Amino acid sequence: MYTAVEAMPALGELHVANELLDDREALDAAWERDGYWYFRDVLDQGALAGLRAVFLDLLKSLGVIDQDATEARHNGASLESYPKNMESLVATHAWKPFVRHPAIHAFFRRVLGDEPFWIPISEYRATPPNGDRGRNRFDYPHQDGFYNQGIPFRICWIPLATIDATIGGFAVTEGLHRGPCLHDLSQPPLFPIPPRAIAPTAWKRATYRAGDIVMFDLDTPHSGLANYSDRYFRLSLDIRVMGASGKVPVIGKLAAVRREAIEVRDSQGRLHRFALNEATYCRALDGKKMTLDEIPERLTVGQELIVAHDGEHAEVIRPPH
């Protein structure tokens, strides 16, 4: 795509949807038009402080911010062994107490017009500063729906501190969520979006602050943005939610697996059986699709799975994260 910040056009500004919050018709119309909602200063600061503290504690344990730090400012320590995938943060499951906070639950109940049903897929970002502006600004443009068909969730991107244009953060496209799938089907196993498939003018962002949230359609192309700061880590969390009255997936532990079918036992002890075929997208955490022959080799009885289905057939099988 763009190899340097100077070559990348300025990104447009996201529409702010705060005034639509209690107008269901207007909210739905904005979603259909844009493919996202951007709300400013709507999330409880106390709940955010607790979540942010988990991130800061990890950075302190890694020695990359000072022990008395109250913000994610790099202290100059080496980042050579800095963990790329933040598995230590993932292991905290910090998103769970966050969404159980009464004020956070009330917000999502308000915006969805339904009880929230949380899909156990989360991404924790504590992206380190890197002043090299010759890097591609876009981390990985993609559409979540391509890898998660049959799970009609909304993605929620939540900044935990101020993220300006230098720190980068996150960008979404506007109005492309009802168009064709942009992923290149000729390039397995990740099927990336070709670099020039999205017009530069479609990309939108904002200067984000703690309390803001961007919610967007699973078919909205989006990407993380490189952190060009030489000082601050980018702290953010993204989680997935849908209305509890919608087409929710089965979430449970794998009880049996064959090339033709799997069985999953949910938390209530109910056993669900799903047929598999070539259309089933069984994916690993890296998004790569398994073949039918690989499924019984790579899935393990007892592991937790999310299964989107159309009744008897599994559309998507994936682990939580």
For 222-260, give one letter per residue: b (16+ CB within 10 A) or e.
bbbbbbbbeebbbbbbbbbbbbeeeebbbbbebeebeee
Residue 1, pLDDT above cutoff 80: no
Residues of the chain within CATH 2.40.50.140 domain(s) are 250-318
Torsion from C-alpha of 285, 263, 277, 300, nearest 10 degrees: 40
| Candidate from 2-11, 104-113, 127-136, 167-176 with smallest mean pLDDT | 2-11
Q: Would you state the pLDDT for residue 133?
A: 81
62-68 long-range Cβ contacts below 8 angstroms, 24+ apart: 64/128, 64/233, 65/233
Q: Would you state the pLDDT for residue 6?
A: 40
Strand partners, 191: none
| Candidate from 76-80, 149-153, 210-214 with smallest mean pLDDT | 149-153
Report DSSP state, residue 10: P
Report cis status (omega within 30 of 0) of the bond before 129.
no
Question: What are the two backbone dihedrals, phi and then psi, of residue 47, each rounded to the nearest 5 degrees?
Answer: -65, -40
Contacts of 314 (CB under 8 A, 6+ apart): 262, 274, 275, 276, 280, 282, 307, 308
Tens-digit pLDDT profile for residues 29-85: 999 999 999 999 999 999 999 999 999 999 999 999 999 999 999 999 999 999 987
Contacts of 137 (CB under 8 A, 6+ apart): 1, 2, 5, 8, 168, 225, 226
Residues of the chain within CATH 2.60.120.620 domain(s) are 5-243
Give the CA distances from residue 95 to residues 52, 180, 224, 300, in Å, rounded to whole numbers and listed in that order: 11, 32, 19, 25
Question: Higher model confidence: residue 313 or residue 135?
Answer: 313
Return the CATH superfamily for domain 250-318. Answer: Nucleic acid-binding proteins (2.40.50.140)
> Which CATH number does the domain 5-243 belong to among 3.50.50.60, 3.40.190.10, 3.50.20.10, 2.60.120.620?
2.60.120.620
DSSP codes joined into one string, 64-88: SS-TT-SS-B--S---TT--SS-HH
111 touches 27 (CB < 8 A): yes
